[in-house]
Chain A
């Protein structure tokens, strides 16, 4: 079992719809959770981080964390074609901040 798992997709949604990206992790001691967006040929850029159970909203993005289920998700409301990218889930452990990444989910938002 991989430490951080994501559905590789591709996930295709129409413009204006809600895109839902999911991630599960195996280490119950994980403390921090990050979503990065990576455009083709570019480096990852941080979208959101979440540390506590529940929801965290930032503009069109909402991160959801459920530690009991070892599950973290990212919702993108009013999806735009510019949101088309690979979304990487990253999990931080109990120590110095090393991140373990999932394989990424490819999202395509079509007009």
Chain B
């Protein structure tokens, strides 16, 4: 079946602009995660969704970052007033159920460059 998809694959924007990143999880996966990977760094957790609710937003770096999920499926990560330090690869992952042992499958990521 289809894996996790993300769009756009690449995004170049100017400092101060808003951007929207989209994630389409594996069909039937109820849990959805956003991570960020800066150059040469490990993955940094941003936010977790179970269904349409976000029980954990603790990783969002600032109030410029927000995310939503609709219909228990597609999620959008929005970054307002982008800054150069927001440049990174934004990865989305989904898993079939909640629980510490559930495997997360990653999408291809969106590479964001803020000029």
Point out residues on A near B: beta carbons under 8 Å: 4, 31-32, 34, 36, 42-46, 49, 51, 88, 90, 92-104
Contacts and interface: CB of A to CB of B under 8 A. Distances in A.
B41 to A, nearest CB: 7
A104 B42 contact: yes
Contacts of A102: 42
A38 to B, nearest CB: 9
B1 interface: no
29 contacts: A4-B42, A31-B100, A32-B101, A44-B106, A49-B101, A88-B42, A88-B43, A92-B101, A95-B100, A96-B55, A96-B56, A96-B98, A96-B99, A96-B100, A97-B31, A97-B33, A97-B95, A97-B99, A97-B100, A97-B102, A97-B104, A98-B33, A98-B48, A99-B33, A99-B43, A99-B45, A101-B35, A101-B42, A101-B44
Contacts of A49: 101, 103
